[in-house]
C-alpha cells in the first residue's frame, strides 16, 4: 500500500508580486486536500519579471519542454511595472496558453455568501465564462508601418477558425448540461460580421446536438449592461478571447472583487497540461507585505484537482473556501491568517 | 427683425421602433429651447428597417448627399429583429459615421440626482467617454474563406492610423481642459501591442501640449472593473472604437440605464454635419406603446445645440432634464408625460 499511489507532476510558476505569496497557499491546500490519496511532485519554475530582468530569459525552450511533461500547471501572477507592457504577457502567459493549446479559458463567477457585491441587489450570481483561449485578437497577427511618423498605420488581426471555435462551443454546451442548461453566446456580430457570423452558425449547429440546452445571444455591449443590471440571468457565457477577457474582469468586480475569481486555461483533450491561476494580477502595490488574499489561488487549486478527476478533494477545498468566506469574508486578514483559516477547514 | 435670423438645417432620422417615438420629443425640445433665436429647418429621412424591408434601400447616395449639406443630424435608433445583424448597422449607422468622418464619438455619463444606480455606493459619477469613431475594428476590413466548412477561417482587422488617433487624442485633452483635467487612456496594450503602443505614444506626445492635464492608462479589462468599483474616479476616458462601445454601455448601466445616455458622433472640423443620438437602441419589445423614455433623445438635442454653439439653449434643456429627473425620475411615466414634464421646464 502507498507505493502504487498515483503521482501528479505539477509545474509551479509563482511569477511576480503577490503571485509569490499566494501560490504557496494554493500548494498547501493541494497537499492537505489530497493527503494519502496521491503524491504531488512539484517542480518550481523561475519565470517572470525577476528572471527576465536578471538574465533576459522569458520562457526558455527547455523549460517549456519540461512543463509539457507535467500533469498540470499552477500559476500565480505575472507582471511588473518596470517591464514594457506586452513582453511578459506575450512571451510567457500567452505563449504557454498557445503552445499548450489551452483552448478553453474557464472562469467561474460566483457571489459567495459573506462577500459584499458593489451592486445593491445582485441576486444569486453563479455563472461560468467559457472564453476561447487560442485565437481571435490574441494570436499576435498585426504590425505597424512608418512607426513614429505622422503616417503610421498599426493593425491588429483577429483570426478565427471553425476548428478553434467548434471545440470550445462544444465544451460550453457539455458544461451547460452539468449546470442550468443555458448558454449565452456573446459577440459583436452586428459589426464583426465575419467572425460573429461564423460563431453564430457554429453555435446553432452544435446546439442541435444538445436539445436540452437553451441558447441565446447578446452583443458584448449589451452583455456588459446585463452583468451590472441582472447578473443572475447567466449560466454559461460563451465568447471569444478578447470579449472573455473583458467580461470576466467585469464579472469579478460584480462578485466583490477579482480576489475571489479563479481560472483554468484548459486543454480539454489532454494533449498538454492545463494551467490554473487566479484572475488577479501581480499587484505590485501591495506585494511583499503579507496583505494579498490567497482565496482565488486556492480556488484555482480546486479547479486543478477537478480537472485531473479528483472531485472529492476539489469539493473539500471549495467547501472550505465557501465556509471561510461566509464566516470571515468581511474581516480584514493577512495572507497567513486567511491561509490558516482555510487550511483548518479542509 | 426676424428675417436675418439664422436658419439651422437639421436632418432627422427617426429610424425604427422607439426611435420614432422619442425623436419628435427631441425636436419639440429643440424648438422650445431656441424659440425666437433661430429657425429650425427639419428634413426627415425615411431610413431604417421599414424602408429596407419595403424597397431594399438602406442609405441611397442621394440621401447621403442631402444629409451632407445639413448643419446637424438628429437620429433616433436603428435596428429590427427581422433583419440580419450587421446590415442596417454597417449600411446606415456606421456608414454615416464613416462617410461624414465623425471621428469623435462623445458619450457623457452622469448619475443624475433622482436616478437609482444599481451600485450601492456609486459616488459622484460624471465623466465623458471620447471614443474614436472612424477606425479600429469598425472599418469593415476582414473576411472569410471556406465559409460553412470545417476549414473556415474568418478574420477581422483593426486598422489604426496616427492621423486618426492623434486628432481624437487632441480632442480629448481639449475637452479635459474644460473639465477636471484628467484623461484616462483605455486600451489593451499588453496584448494589442501594435495599436496599443501607437495610442500610448501619441497620448504621451500630445499630453506635452497640455501640461495642466493629468493622464493615466488602464487596460480595458481593468477599466470595466473600475466602472463598477469606483466610477467617480473618471473624468475623460479616451479609447478606441470597440472599447468605447463596450465601456459606454457598461457606463450607461452604472448611471441607472442607457435611458439617460446621449451621444454625439462629431466631425470636430465641421467638414460634415455631426450626428446626435441616444445610446439606447430601437427596443422593439416596447415600441409603439408609448412607454419609451425620451430623456436620452432630449439630451442628444442639447448636445446638438452645444455643438452648433448654442450654449444657452443647450443649458436650458440640460437644466430642464436634470430638474425633471430629480423630481420625477423614479416614477413610471409614459413617453408623452415625460415629454410634457420636460418641455414645461424649458
Ligand atoms: C495579462 C493578460 C495578457 C491576460 C489576458 O488578457 O488574457 C489577463 O488579463 C487575463 O485575463 O488572464
Ligand atoms: C449599433 C452598433 C453598430 C453601435 C456600435 O457598435 O457603435 C451601437 O452599439 C453604438 O454604440 O452606437
Would the annotation count A286 as a binding residue? yes
Rounded CA gap, B225 and B254, in Å?
Answer: 12
- The residue of chain A nearest to residue B89, with distances taken between CA atoms, is A190
The cell numbers describing B168, all together, are 481624437
Q: DSSP letter at B119?
A: B
**CA A246, CA A340: separation in Å to the nearest integer?**
33
Q: Please name which ligand lies nearest the alpha carbon of B296.
A: 2
A151 grid coordinates: 503616417
Confirm or reject: Cβ of A245 under 6 Å from ligand 1: yes
In this structure, which ligand is nearest to the CA of A221? 2
Q: Which residues of B are catalytic?
A: 138, 188, 221, 245, 249
pLDDT tens-digit series, residues B209-255: 999 999 999 999 999 999 999 999 999 999 999 999 999 999 999 99
Closest CA to B12 of B37, B32, B34, B41: B41
Can you tell me which atom of ligand 2 is nearest the CA of B90?
3
- pTM of the predicted protein model: 0.97
Q: Do A156 and B254 touch (CB under 8 A)?
A: no
Crossing angle of helices B311-328 and B335-345, rounded to 10°: 130
Closest CA to A47 of A103, A87, A101: A87
- How do A214-219 and B38-44 pair as beta strands? unpaired
pLDDT digits (tens, 9 = 90+) for A3-50: 567 999 999 999 999 999 999 999 999 999 999 999 999 999 999 999
Q: Closest Cα of chain B to A4: distance in Å?
A: 44
- Has residue B61 got a pLDDT over 50? yes
As a whole number of angstroms, the distance between CA A249 and CA A244 comes to 9
Instruction: Please judge whether A194 and B155 are an interchain contact, meaning their C-beta atoms are less than 8 angstroms apart.
Output: yes
User: Is A82 one of the annotated binding-site residues?
Assistant: no
Rounded to the nearest angstrom, the gap between the alpha carbon of residue B22 and the centroid of all alpha carbons in its chain is 15
Nearest Cα residue to B103 out of B11, B25, B167, B26:
B167
Q: Which numbered atom of ligand 2 lies nearest the CA of B94?
A: 3
Using alpha carbons, select from A316, A299, A296 the residue that is nearest to residue A32. Answer: A316
The C-alpha of A269 sits at a distance from chain B's nearest C-alpha, in angstroms, of 18
Q: What is the 3-state secondary structure (H, E, C) of B270-313?
A: CCCCEEEEECCCCCCCCCCCCCCCCHHHHHHHHHHHHHCCCHHH
Task: Answer whether residue A2 shows pLDDT above 70.
Answer: no
Q: How far is the CA of A113 from the centre of ligand 1 (A)?
A: 27
Cell numbers given for A5: 499511489
Q: What is the pLDDT of residues A209-267, one digit of tens each?
A: 999 999 999 999 999 999 999 999 999 999 999 999 999 999 999 999 888 999 999 99
Q: Which ligand is nearest to the CA of A278?
A: 1
| Rounded Cα distance, B34 and B314, in Å | 9
pLDDT of residue B1: 42
Nearest to A236 by CA among A192, A295, A180, A193: A180
CB-CB: which of A245, A247, A254 is closest to B228? Answer: A254
Of A106, A111, A93, A103, the residue nearest A132 (C-alpha): A103
Q: Strand B236-239 and strand A236-239: pairing?
A: unpaired
Identify any residues that bridge with B96 across adjacent strands, giving them in sequence order.
none
The CATH topology of domain B1-110+261-346 is Isopropylmalate Dehydrogenase (3.40.718)
Supply the residue whose CA is at minimum distance from atom 3 of ligand 1.
A89
Give the nearest partner residue to A162 out of B150, B228, B242, using CB atoms.
B150
B117-124+158-255 CATH choice from 3.90.1150, 3.40.50, 3.30.379, 3.10.450: 3.40.50
What pLDDT is recorded for position B89?
94
Give the tens place of pLDDT for each residue, A126-181: 999 999 999 999 999 999 999 999 999 999 999 999 999 999 999 999 999 999 99
Give the position, in ligand 2's atom list, of the atom nearest the Cα of B93.
Answer: 3
Q: Which residue of B has its CA nearest to A81?
A: B190
Pocket test for ligand 2, best of B94, B131, B276 (most atoms within 8 A of CB): B94
Strands, E, within chain B: which ranges?
6-15, 38-44, 72-77, 104-110, 126-132, 136-145, 153-161, 182-187, 214-219, 236-239, 262-266, 274-278
Q: Which of B144, B201, B228 sits opposite A250 (nearest CB)?
A: B228
Q: Which residue of A has its CA nearest to B153?
A: A161
Distance (Å) from CA A190 to ligand 2 centroid: 8
- Selecting from B120, B151, B225 the residue whose C-beta is nearest the C-beta of A253 gives B225
* Ligand 2 atom at minimal distance to the Cα of residue B245: 11
pLDDT of A251 reads 97
* A16 Cβ closer than 6 Å to some ligand 1 atom: no
Residue A333, Cβ neighbours under 10 Å: how many? 15
pLDDT of A330 higher than 90: no
State the cell numbers at B215.
493622464
Cα separation of B41 and B136, whole Å? 35
Assess whether pLDDT exceeds 80 at residue A1: no
**Cα–Cα distance, A125 to A233 (Å, whole number):** 8
Specify the CATH architecture of the domain A117-127+137-255: 3-Layer(aba) Sandwich (3.40)
Exposure of A36 by Cβ count < 10 A (0-12 exposed, 13-18 middle, 19+ buried)? exposed
Environment class of A232 (CB within 10 Å of its CB; exposed 0-12, middle 13-18, buried 19+): middle
User: Measured between alpha carbons, how far is A215 from A219 in angstroms, rounded to an integer?
Assistant: 14
CATH code given to domain A1-114+258-346: 3.40.718.10
For B80, the grid coordinates are 429590427
User: What SS3 class is residue A316?
Assistant: helix
| Residue given cell 462578485 in the structure block | A255
Q: How far is the C-alpha of B80 from the C-alpha of B287, rounded, in Å?
A: 11
The total of other beta-carbon atoms located within 10 Å of residue B35's CB is: 11
Sheet harboring A136-145: ordered strands across? A136-145, A153-161, B153-161, B136-145
Determine if residue B335 is left, alpha or beta; phi over 0 gives left, psi from -120 to 50 gives alpha, anything else beta: alpha
Atom of ligand 1 minimally distant from the CA of A248: 11
* Cβ contacts of A224 on chain B, cutoff 8 Å: 224, 246-247, 249-250, 253
CA distance B214 to chain A (A): 19
β-pairing, B6-15 with A6-15? Answer: unpaired
What is the C-alpha separation between A278 and A282, in angstroms, rounded?
A: 10
Which cell numbers hold the place of A25? 497557499
The sign of the torsion formed by the CA atoms of B234, B239, B242, B245 equals: positive
Is B143 labeled as ligand-binding? no
The residues facing A51 across adjacent strands are: none
Inter-chain touch A189–B155, beta carbons under 8 Å:
no
Cα–Cα distance for residue pair A76/A13, rounded to 1 Å: 6
Place of cell 448611471: B255
Residue B257 has a pLDDT of: 87
State in Å: Cα B210 to ligand 2 middle.
31
B256 vs B231: CA distance, rounded Å: 13
d(C-alpha A292, C-alpha A18), whole Å:
6
pLDDT at res. B330: 83
A96 pocket-lining for ligand 1 (C-beta < 6 Å): no
- Ligand 2 centre distance from Cα of residue A77 (Å): 35
Q: What's the mean pLDDT when you consider all of chain B?
A: 96
Q: Which of A155, A196, A258 lies closest to B157 in CB terms?
A: A155
The CA radius of gyration of chain B, in Å to the nearest whole number, is: 20
For A15, half-sphere exposure in the C-beta direction (CA atoms, 13 angstrom radius) is 28
Q: Please state the domain extents for chain A.
A: 1-114+258-346, 117-127+137-255
Q: Tell me: the pLDDT tens digits for A53-64?
A: 999 999 999 999
What distance in Å separates residue B102's CA from the closest CA in chain A? 17
pLDDT confidence bin for B305, thresholds 50/70/90: very high
Q: How confident is the model at residue B2 (pLDDT cuts 50, 70, 90)?
A: very low
Ligand approaching nearest to the C-alpha of A277 = 1
> Is A247 within any annotated ligand binding site?
no
Nearest CA to ligand 2 atom 5: B245
Say how far apart CA B216 and CA A107 lie, in whole Å: 28
Q: Which residues line ligand 2 (CB under 6 A)?
A: A 190-191, 221; B 89, 93-94, 245, 279
A188 carries an active-site annotation: yes
In which band, very low, low, confident or very high, does the pLDDT at B259 lie, cut at 50, 70 and 90? confident
Residue A320: pLDDT over 70: yes
- Over the stretch B69-94, which tens digit does the pLDDT of each residue have? 999 999 999 999 999 999 999 999 99
Amino acid at each position: 500500500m502507498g507505493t502504487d499511489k498515483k503521482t501528479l507532476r505539477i509545474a509551479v510558476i509563482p511569477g511576480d508580486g503577490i503571485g509569490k505569496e499566494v501560490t504557496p497557499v494554493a500548494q498547501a491546500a493541494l497537499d492537505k486536500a489530497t493527503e494519502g490519496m496521491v503524491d504531488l511532485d512539484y517542480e518550481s519554475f523561475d519565470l517572470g519579471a525577476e528572471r527576465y530582468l536578471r538574465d533576459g530569459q522569458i520562457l526558455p525552450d527547455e523549460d517549456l519542454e519540461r512543463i509539457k511533461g507535467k500533469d498540470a500547471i499552477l500559476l500565480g501572477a505575472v507582471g511588473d511595472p518596470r517591464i514594457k507592457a506586452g513582453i511578459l504577457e506575450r512571451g510567457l502567459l500567452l505563449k504557454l496558453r498557445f503552445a499548450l493549446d489551452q483552448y478553453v479559458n474557464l472562469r467561474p463567477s460566483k457571489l459567495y455568501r459573506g462577500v459584499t457585491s458593489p451592486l445593491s441587489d445582485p441576486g444569486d450570481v453563479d455563472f461560468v465564462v467559457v472564453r476561447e483561449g487560442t485565437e481571435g485578437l490574441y494570436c499576435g497577427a498585426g504590425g505597424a508601418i512608418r512607426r513614429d511618423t505622422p503616417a503610421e498605420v498599426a493593425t491588429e488581426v483577429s483570426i478565427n477558425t471553425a476548428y478553434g471555435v467548434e471545440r470550445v462551443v462544444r465544451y460550453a454546451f457539455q458544461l451547460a448540461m452539468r449546470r442550468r442548461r443555458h448558454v449565452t453566446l456573446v459577440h459583436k456580430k452586428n459589426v464583426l460580421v465575419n467572425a460573429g457570423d461564423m460563431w453564430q452558425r457554429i453555435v446553432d449547429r452544435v446546439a442541435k446536438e444538445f436539445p436540452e440546452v437553451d441558447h441565446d445571444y447578446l452583443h458584448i455591449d449589451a452583455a456588459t449592461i446585463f452583468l451590472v443590471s441582472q447578473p443572475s440571468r447567466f449560466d454559461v457565457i460563451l465568447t471569444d478571447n478578447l470579449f472573455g477577457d473583458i467580461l470576466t474582469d467585469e464579472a469579478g468586480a460584480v462578485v466583490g472583487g477579482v480576489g475571489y475569481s479563479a481560472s483554468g486555461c484548459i486543454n480539454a483533450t489532454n494533449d498538454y497540461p492545463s494551467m490554473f491561476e487566479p484572475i488577479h494580477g501581480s499587484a505590485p502595490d501591495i506585494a511583499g507585505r503579507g496583505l494579498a488574499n490567497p482565496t482565488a489561488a486556492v480556488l484555482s487549486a480546486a479547479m486543478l484537482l477537478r480537472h485531473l478527476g479528483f472531485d472529492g478533494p476539489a469539493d473539500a477545498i471549495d467547501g472550505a473556501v465557501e465556509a471561510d468566506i461566509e464566516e470571515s469574508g468581511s474581516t480584514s486578514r493577512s495572507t497567513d491568517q486567511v491561509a490558516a483559516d482555510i487550511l483548518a477547514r479542509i
